[in-house]
A and B are shown apart, each in its own frame.
Chain A
Amino acid sequence: MRRLLLALPFALLPLAVAHAHDDHDHDHDHAHGTLGAHEHGVAKLNAVLDGNVLELALDSPAMNLVGFEHAASSDADKAKVAAARQQLEQPLKLFAIAQAAGCKEEAQDLESPLFGNAPEAGGDAHQHADINARYQLTCATPGKLTQIDLGRLFKTFPQTQKINVQLIGPNGQKGVEATPAKAVVEF
């Protein structure tokens, strides 16, 4: 009996290994010092509105936006990357920011190994890649900016199933889980 018990961990070992490989949730070392989470289908959006400055930061696995995470080599892949990039370059449309707020883009920063502007870490065949987009806008009448509509983002990138939104607005801090069915996030 005792021998059997001793053998138990070894019997279970393949299970643990198989699980580790299935799990896309595990952490990877990216360009930064710490390990960031990477979960396909889930993106992160941080939005902060203070005075008339609006800052948005979208962090998403490349899988959600272009459908693959390796550097684009074929023409079809390159076209997909270019199309995603074009969408991401128009934050006013992508986040359906109210026209009445009179927001203007001040700065934009798109970063991803797929765009060739972030170092691809390691030669691991199992490597994941993220796309990070940062925007800074100034709004003439920030009072009119009451919500962000992620409906278009979900429609443009159908592989995105959930966006964890963190908001800081005039009413304080808020955490919301946006889904295609509940895409409007209020400040």
Chain B
Amino acid sequence: MYLLRLALASLANRRFTALLTAFAIALSVCLLLAVERVRTEARASFASTISGTDLIVGARSGSVNLLLYSVFRIGNATNNIRWDSYEHYAKDPRVKWAIPISLGDSHRGYRVMGTSADYFSHYQFGRRQHLALDQGRAFADDPFEVVLGAEVAEALHYKLGDKLVLAHGVAAISLVKHDDKPFTVVGVLERTGTPVDRTLHISLAGMEAIHIDWHNGVPARGAGRISAEQARAMDLQPTAITAFMLGLNSKIATFSLQREINEYRAEPLLAILPGVALQELWSLMGTAEQALFVVSLFVVLTGLIGMLTAILTSLNERRREMAILRSVGARPWHIAGLLVLEALALALSGIAAGLGLLYACIALAQGYVQANYGLYLPLAWPSAHEWTLLAIILGAALLMGSVPAWRAYRQSLADGLSIHL
């Protein structure tokens, strides 16, 4: 105990260097933990984007591609699929529910998705959570109603009853707008932390209606135009959609239905298991994630080597200190213990300060990160994995502290009380 007191007193005597060393360790620890936390949270939020959906079906392309455009709203479909194919499988006795998806339009950089009311009752994310309305209601019979994702409503300041115009295509600035058929905001969804927040949901009929007078990819002019009122009276049954999601009565049927859809003769279709495709996609990004982790490990190593340097360089200045300690009866192992304790104290205070810094940063950045990246960083206690990392850092610091300790041990034996000037 008196050794520890001595070590602390000695450190206090060199408080500026000691503080800087501890701060370097604190910064590196904070970086390592922040990377770890973002990594695990990104993975968790990634995996919780979709749940409870057994199969996603789209035009035949790649499974990652289909997952990206149907769930993450990234990229575009290579082809559309026929409405008949959707109906064929929606009616299959093994299928419990089916959600059609139609993509391709946007509103100020946010994607628009045409779907059916089943989307609100069957789509699940996270731990089998359902979508919930924060305000208003789901779209009903009128084709020109839109339900906004939480982020869309917040970023663009829309309230219930507002009118908005959708743009053709998915570029942030579109030259072609569906301005003859404005949509009314009837509902805003609760925040989910998934791409749903960044989506505008309209009915398939609405999607059909805004394109009803389009020919060859351009809107009709003059007499060919069909007004919103006329469109309401027309048959707005779509003939093609982009993809559909299926929930099955029994999971056992998943593989056989997947096989059947992939071999469907009427149209080339691709059915994927979203869970498997998610893992495939994550493994693509896994390398970058690993690299980030390795970099932060090296930063910690740098911090610890900084500590080692600081202690080692101080050894020479402290020969007098050691000599005095020896003269009052300290044994060589006391001197060694003193230096190990010093390293321990530096590393411990560095880790504690690093944790403090991490929580301060999380508390400050939490809202911003959630709003901009859809990542929720909880102010939670370190996980078992994080504790292990911290223990390893502490162990490494002790190991490094034993280097100057060993030298001091040898020196104090050799030097004794003689002072070489």
Q: Which residues of A contact B (CB under 8 A)?
A: 32-34, 46, 48-51, 53, 55, 57, 166, 168, 172-176
Q: 5 more A-B contacts (CB under 8 A) besides A168-B254, A168-B275?
A: A48-B251, A48-B254, A55-B252, A166-B273, A176-B279
Query: Closest residue to A166 on the B side, CB-wise?
Result: B276
A51→B265 CA distance, assembly (Å): 32
Say yes or no: B51 contacts A172, CB within 8 Å: yes
Q: Could you tell me which residues of chain B, from 261 to 307, have a CB within 8 Å of some CB in chain A? A: 262-263, 265, 273-277, 279-280
| Interchain residue pairs with CB less than 8 A apart (28) | A32-B263, A33-B263, A33-B265, A34-B262, A46-B255, A48-B252, A48-B254, A50-B250, A50-B251, A51-B250, A55-B252, A55-B255, A57-B255, A168-B54, A168-B251, A172-B51, A172-B275, A173-B54, A173-B273, A173-B274, A173-B275, A173-B276, A174-B275, A175-B273, A175-B276, A175-B277, A175-B279, A175-B280
Q: Chain B: residues with CB nearer than 8 A to chain A?
A: 51, 54, 250-252, 254-255, 262-263, 265, 273-277, 279-280
A168 CA / B275 CA spacing, docked (Å): 9
The closest CB in chain B to the CB of A46 belongs to B255
Whether B252 pairs with A174 at a CB distance below 8 angstroms is: no
B38: shortest Cβ distance to chain A, in Å?
A: 23
Measured in the bound complex, the distance between the Cα atoms of B254 and A50 in whole Å is 11
Closest chain B residue to A53, Cβ basis: B252
- Distance in angstroms between the alpha carbons of A110 and B276 in the assembled complex: 26
Residue of A nearest to B275 (CB): A173
- Please, how many angstroms separate the alpha-carbon atoms of A176 and B282 in the complex? 12
Complex Cα spacing A168 to B250, Å: 11
Q: Which 8 A-B pairs have the closest CB atoms?
A: A173-B275, A175-B276, A50-B251, A46-B255, A34-B263, A175-B279, A173-B273, A50-B252
Q: From residue A12, how far is it (CB to closest CB) to chain B in Å?
A: 27
- A contact face: mostly helix, strand, loop, or mixed: strand
Q: What separation, in Å, do the CA atoms of A176 and B277 have in the docked complex?
A: 11
Chain B residues near A50: list those with CB within 8 A: 250-252
Q: Which of B54, B255, B262, B263 contacts A166 (CB 8 A)?
A: B255
Instruction: Please name the residue on chain B nearest to A173 by beta carbon.
Output: B275
Least CB distance, B131 to chain A, in whole angstroms: 19
Name which residue of chain B comes closest to A176, CB basis. Answer: B279
Find chain B residues with CB under 8 A from A57 CB.
Answer: 255
Nearest chain B CB to A142 CB, angstrom units: 12
Q: How far is the CA of A168 from the CA of B252 in the complex (A)?
A: 8
Measured between beta carbons, the chain B residues less than 8 angstroms from A53 are: 252
Residue of A nearest to B277 (CB): A175
CB-nearest residue of chain A to B268: A34
A34 and B263 CA atoms in complex are apart in Å by 6
Note all chain A residues with C-beta closer than 8 A to B254.
48, 168
Query: In the bound complex, do residue A174 and residue B255 qualify as a contact, i.e. CB atoms below 8 Å apart?
Result: no
Are B255 and A48 closer than 8 Å at their CB atoms?
yes
A50 to B175, CA, bound (A): 51
Q: Nearest B residue to A54 by beta-carbon distance?
A: B252
List, in ascending order, chain B residues with CB within 8 A of A176's CB: 279
CA distance A49 to B255 in the complex (A): 12
Say how far A110's CB is from chain B's closest CB, in angstroms: 17
CA distance A168 to B54 in the complex (A): 9
- Cα A172 to Cα B54 in complex, Å, equals 9
Smallest Cβ-Cβ distance to B63: which chain A residue: A175
Chain B: minimal CB distance from A44 (Å): 10
Least Cβ–Cβ distance between B123 and chain A, in angstroms: 15
Chain B nearest CB from A137 CB (Å) reads 11
Nearest-CB distance from B270 to chain A (Å)? 11
Q: List, in ascending order, chain B residues with CB within 8 A of A174's CB.
A: 275-276, 279
Residues of A within 8 A of B251 (CB): 48-50, 168
A57 to B259, CA, bound (A): 12
B336 to chain A, nearest CB (A): 44
- Cα-based distance from A105 to B185 in the complex (angstroms): 56
Chain B residues with Cβ below 8 Å from A55 are: 252, 255
> What's the Cα separation between A57 and B258 when bound, in Å?
13
CA separation between A55 and B276, bound complex, in Å?
A: 17
* Measured CA separation A48–B252 after assembly (Å): 6
When distances are taken between beta carbons in the complex, the residues of chain B under 8 Å from A46 are 255
With A48-B254, A53-B252 as contacts: A175 and B265 at CB distance below 8 Å = no
A34 to B54, CA, bound (A): 22
Residues on A with beta carbons closer than 8 Å to the beta carbon of B276: 166, 173-175
Bound-complex Cα distance A34 to B254 (A):
19
Tell me, in angstroms, the Cα distance from A57 to B256 when the chains sit together: 10
Complexed CA–CA distance, A172 and B280 (Å): 15
CA distance A23 to B280 in the complex (A): 24
A172's nearest neighbour on chain B, judged by CB, is B275
Q: State in angstroms the CA–CA spacing of A46 and B277 once bound together.
A: 14
**Interchain CA distance A55-B265 in the complex, whole Å:** 26
Instruction: For B279, list chain A residues within 8 Å (CB).
Output: 174-176
Q: Decide: B275 and A175 in contact? CB cutoff 8 A.
A: yes
| A51 to B252 CA separation, bound complex (whole angstroms) | 9
Q: Which residues in B have their C-beta under 8 angstroms from that of A172?
A: 51, 275
**Chain A residue contacts of B250, Cβ below 8 A:** 50-51
Hey, which chain B residues are within 8 Å of A168, CB to CB?
54, 251, 254-255, 273, 275
Docked CA distance A146–B78 (Å): 39
Most buried by A among B250, B255, B274, B277: B255
Chain A residue numbers with a CB within 8 Å of B275 are: 168, 172-175
Cα A173 to Cα B252 with chains together (Å): 12
Give complex CA distance A32, B262 in Å. 11
